[in-house]
Amino acid sequence: MRKISLSLLLVAALEPVLADDQKASATPLEKINRKIAAEPKYQSSAPLYGLYVLDDAHKTRVWAVLDKTSPDKKIYDVLYFDRNANGKLTDEGERIENEQGSFELGDFVDPNSNDRHTIVKLARNNKGSVMFGLNWKGKHRVGGGYPKVDGPYTMFGKTAAEAPIVKMVGEGAFAVQTWSAPKSLKIGNSDYHNDIKFFVGHAGVGASSFSSVMHPFLPKDVALEATLIYESTAGKKTELKTKLTSRC
């Protein structure tokens, strides 16, 4: 039986990444302060919390809290969304209702950079998972958060301390995460059932917290370089390098 491992390197970023001094000053996602400066009086006895970071310096932090119009509601039909990223959920226009749990939020203007992100949307499905999306600077779509291969989208936390953190950024130094993969690989088999697919985007904090930049966004001359490392039953290790040019 062959043992397989796969390592990937993104050979180029979409836009210049942060300077060294900016990188040093960026608070790691896992160390971000989770305190909410002001919260409304929730109707639900169990509001749900999520935190979105909308810049590479990790300064633009947007809280999203799901609530209900009444305690006996079965679905979360109210969203509190920190439109101005000031840590408060009590400002005008930050309470949105939708009977289906799908919230169209319009544009978001980053108070730190003045960048405008468009077609901002948050939706919670009937299984409880949340998908958030926006057009980064009005251009390519960014969505999140995604699980590793199998599982639900982002599951909001029961408290601010338990909230997942999803980094919704459409540029910079990207990471990769497995989208789908077969249970076993067959070397030399070109059947699509033998494919491994990857997301390109940013890792977050918590389960199902990876954000993906949607195709098309990479220039045609930019590709992922992949190294496939496998070992035969005889113990011979082989490395196969290739460029991943197929996109979907």
Q: Per-residue pLDDT tens for 87-140?
A: 999 999 999 999 999 999 999 999 999 999 999 999 999 889 999 999 999 999
- Look at the chain and report how many structural domains it folds into: 1
- The H or E element spanning position 22 is helix 20-25
Decide if 213 is inside a domain: yes
- The H or E element spanning position 196 is none
Residues ≥6 apart with Cβ < 8 Å to 38: 87, 88, 89, 90
Cα gap 181→194, rounded to integer Å: 8
End-to-end CA distance of the chain: 31
CB 212 within 8 A of CB 199: yes
Decide if 205 is inside a domain: yes
Tell me the one-letter amino acid at 176: V
Decide if 53 is inside a domain: no
Residue 241: count of CB within 10 angstroms of its CB: 10
Paired sense of beta strands 102-109 and 165-167, if any: unpaired
Decide if 150 is inside a domain: yes
Decide if 45 is inside a domain: no
Confidence of residue 190 (pLDDT cuts 50, 70, 90): low
Decide if 142 is inside a domain: yes
**Residue range of the domain that includes 188:** 3-34+102-244
Decide if 158 is inside a domain: yes
Decide if 28 is inside a domain: yes
| Per-residue pLDDT, 17 | 44
Q: Which residue has the higher pLDDT, 149 or 165?
A: 165
Confidence of residue 189 (pLDDT cuts 50, 70, 90): low
pTM for this prediction: 0.85
pLDDT of residue 9 exceeding 70: no
Residue 47: count of CB within 10 angstroms of its CB: 21
